[in-house]
C-alpha cells in the first residue's frame, strides 16, 4: 500500500534513482550501527543471501558482493577486476551508460571494442556475433540491460545466447532493472551482474552490489587495478569475516536496504513489483499521449523503468520552465540525455503508483504554458 510523503519531502521523484522511498525505509536509518558488530554483519550476510534468491533459480554457483559508492563504482570494480592484463572487452552501446563502460575501460588501459548502435536502436546482436567470430582475442562482453539514457530495454537474452556460444565472460549492467525486471543469471549464463541500492529495490544511495559466478570471480584474484575497487578482495573479506567490509561501510544505507528488501518481499517479489512498474508506465504514457506528447521509443523497445518524451512542437516550450512548474506542483522529472532529439524523461520506479502518474498528467495539463 502506498505510504504518504513525509512533510519534508515535498515532491515525488519520477527519476531512475535516487527515487521516492517509503517512510519505513527512511526510518530504518535512524539507528546507528558499528561496522564490527555481529548484529550488523548478520544484516549484511542476510542481504547477500536474499540478493541471491532474487537472482533466479539454481544460483548455488553464484555469490553476492557489496561495494561502497555509486553504481558506477561497482561497474568499475567489475571492469577493473574481471579483465586480465591481456584481456579484451567488447561493449554493446546505445546510450550514455554503455559509453561510460568504454570510458572507464580505456582509462584502465583495457583494450576495448565499442559496438555502437546509436541512441534509439537496440544493441546490435548481429554485429556482436560478427565481432566474436572474427576476433578470438575478445575475452569479455558487456551490455547495459536497461539504458536509462532513453528508457531502452536491451535484448539481454539474445546477447547472452551469442556470448555463451563463443565462450566469453558476460557482464550485465542491470543497474536500473534488477529488482524491477525478472533476470535469471544462471539461465542466461551471466558472469557478473551489477546493480545499486537506490534503484528498483527502492533503497537509498550509498552502495551497489555484484552478483558473480564464483568461477569468474575466482579468476579476478590479483587482477584489480585499484585497491578500493578490488572486487575479489572485497568478496574474500566478506566471505572469511562473516559479512565484514574491508573499509568503512555505509551502515545506515545498508540497514535501509535491508528494510527495502523486506518490503520487496512483502509486495510479492520482483514479479509483482514489475507489474506495478508496468502499470505506472502504462498510465503515464496513455495520459501523456492524450494531451499531445509523443514517446521517443516504440513499445517493443520501451522498458517500464523510465520513458523519454519529445518536447512539444512549440517555440515557447523550455524544459527549465516546465521542470520548475512541475516541481512546484510536487513532481521532479529528468532532462533528456540524447543528442538526436530534444526530450525529457519520466521515471516509473520507486514508491510510486498509477495514481501518481495520473496526478502528474493532470499537473502537466494545469501547468501548460506553450
Q: Note the maximum CA span of the chain.
A: 62
What are the distances in angstroms from CA 358 to CA 282, 288, 331, 353, 354? 10, 9, 12, 9, 6
- Strand bridging mode 343-347 / 334-335: antiparallel
Distance CA 169, CA 191 (A): 6
349: cell is: 520506479
Q: Any known ligand binding at 359? A: no
Q: How far apart are the first and last CA of the chain?
A: 36
Given the C-alpha cell 566471505, which residue does it identify? 239
What stretches of the chain adopt beta strand conformation (E)?
12-13, 62-68, 88-93, 111-116, 140-144, 146-147, 152-153, 169-173, 192-196, 207-213, 306-310, 331-332, 334-335, 343-347
Residue ranges of the binding site: 345
Residue ranges of the binding site for substrate: 345
Amino acid at each position: 500500500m502506498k505510504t504518504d510523503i513525509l512533510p519534508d519531502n515535498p515532491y515525488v521523484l519520477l527519476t531512475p534513482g535516487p527515487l521516492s522511498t517509503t517512510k519505513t525505509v527512511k526510518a530504518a536509518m535512524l539507528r546507528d550501527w558499528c561496522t564490527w558488530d555481529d548484529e550488523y554483519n548478520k544484516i549484511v550476510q542476510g542481504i547477500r543471501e536474499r540478493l541471491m534468491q532474487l537472482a533466479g533459480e539454481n544460483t548455488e554457483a553464484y555469490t553476492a558482493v557489496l561495494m561502497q559508492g555509486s553504481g558506477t563504482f561497482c561497474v568499475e570494480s567489475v571492469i577493473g577486476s574481471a579483465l586480465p592484463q591481456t584481456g579484451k572487452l567488447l561493449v554493446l552501446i546505445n546510450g550514455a551508460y554503455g559509453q561510460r563502460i568504454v570510458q572507464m575501460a580505456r582509462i584502465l588501459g583495457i583494450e576495448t571494442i565499442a559496438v555502437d548502435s546509436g541512441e534509439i536502436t537496440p544493441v546490435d546482436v548481429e554485429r556482436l556475433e560478427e565481432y566474436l567470430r572474427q576476433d578470438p582475442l575478445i575475452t569479455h562482453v558487456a551490455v547495459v540491460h536497461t539504458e536509462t539514457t532513453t528508457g531502452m530495454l536491451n535484448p539481454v537474452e539474445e546477447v547472452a545466447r551469442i556470448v555463451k556460444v563463443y565462450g566469453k565472460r558476460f557482464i550485465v549492467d542491470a543497474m536500473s532493472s534488477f529488482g524491477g525486471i525478472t533476470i535469471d543469471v544462471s539461465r542466461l549464463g551471466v558472469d557478473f551482474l551489477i546493480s545499486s541500492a537506490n534503484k528498483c529495490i527502492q533503497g537509498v544511495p550509498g552502495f551497489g552490489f555484484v552478483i558473480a559466478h564464483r568461477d569468474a570471480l575466482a579468476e579476478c584474484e590479483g587482477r584489480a587495478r585499484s585497491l578500493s575497487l578490488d572486487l575479489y578482495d572485497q568478496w574474500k573479506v566478506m566471505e572469511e569475516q562473516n559479512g565484514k567490509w574491508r573499509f568503512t561501510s555505509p551502515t545506515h544505507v545498508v540497514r535501509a536496504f535491508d528494510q527495502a528488501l523486506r518490503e520487496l518481499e512483502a509486495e510479492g517479489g520482483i514479479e509483482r513489483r514489475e507489474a506495478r512498474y508496468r502499470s505506472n508506465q502504462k498510465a503515464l504514457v496513455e495520459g501523456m499521449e492524450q494531451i499531445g506528447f509523443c514517446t521517443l521509443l516504440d513499445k517493443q523497445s520501451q522498458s517500464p523503468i523510465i520513458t523519454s518524451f519529445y518536447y512539444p512542437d512549440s517555440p515557447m516550450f523550455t524544459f527549465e520552465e516546465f521542470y520548475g512548474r512541475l516541481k512546484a506542483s510536487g513532481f521532479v522529472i529528468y532532462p533528456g540525455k540524447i543528442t538526436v532529439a530534444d526530450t525529457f524523461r519520466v521515471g516509473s520506479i520507486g514508491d510510486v503508483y498509477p495514481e501518481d502518474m495520473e496526478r502528474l498528467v493532470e499537473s502537466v495539463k494545469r501547468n501548460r504554458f506553450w
